[in-house]
Amino acid sequence: NCHWDNSRGSLIVLEGLDRSGKTSQSNSLVSFLKGKGVPVEAWHFPDRSTTVGGMISSYLANKSQLDDRTIHLLFSANRWEKSSLMETKLKSGVTLVVDRYSYSGVAFSAAKGLDIQWCKAPEEGLIAPDLVLYLDIPPEKAAERGGYGSERYEHLDFQQKVASHYTNLHDHTWKVIDACQPAEDIEKQLRELALECISSRRDGKPLSRLWL
Ligand code: TMP
The residue to mutate among 47, 50, 60, having the most atoms of ligand 1 within 8 angstroms of its beta carbon, is 60
Rounded distance from Cα 16 to ligand 1 centre (Å): 10
Is the model's pLDDT at 106 over the cut of 70?
yes
- Let me know if residue 23 belongs to a domain: yes
2: in domain: no
Phi/psi class of residue 148: alpha, beta or left (left: φ > 0; alpha: ψ in -120 to 50)? Answer: beta
> In the chain, how many domains are there?
1
- Measured from the CB, is residue 76 less than 6 Å from ligand 1? no
pLDDT at position 1 over 50: no
Q: Is residue 131 situated within a structural domain?
A: yes
For residue 103, what are the contacts with CB-CB under 8 A and spacing of at least 6?
A: 13, 15, 132, 166, 169
Residue 105: CB within 6 Å of ligand 1? yes
Cβ 21 under 6 angstroms from ligand 1: no
User: Looking at residue 136, which CATH number applies to its domain?
Assistant: 3.40.50.300
Pocket test for ligand 1, best of 17, 80, 86, 104 (most atoms within 8 A of CB): 104
Closest residue CA from atom 14 of ligand 1: 105
**Position 162 pLDDT exceeds 50:** yes
Any domain includes 164: yes
Is 170 contained in some domain? yes
Range of 21's domain?
A: 13-203
What spacing in Å lies between the alpha carbon of 121 and ligand 1's midpoint? 18
Please check the confidence at residue 3 and state whether its pLDDT lies above 60: no
- Residue 42 pairs in a beta bridge with 97
What's the CA-to-centroid distance between 46 and ligand 1, angstroms?
6
Q: Is residue 3 part of a domain?
A: no
* Ligand 1 atom nearest to CA at 154: 10
Per-residue model confidence as pLDDT tens digits over 168-204: 999 999 999 999 999 999 999 999 999 999 999 877 8
Q: What's the average model confidence in pLDDT over 99-103?
A: 98
For residue 98, tell me if it sits in a domain.
yes
Rounded Cα distance, 28 and 31, in Å: 5
Mean pLDDT of 150-154: 90
pTM: 0.96
Is residue 12 a contact partner of residue 98, using CB atoms and an 8 Å limit? yes
Degrees to nearest 5, angle at CA 87 with 81 and 88: 105
| CA atoms of 90 and 93, how far apart (whole Å) | 5
1 falls within a domain: no
ipTM confidence: 0.99
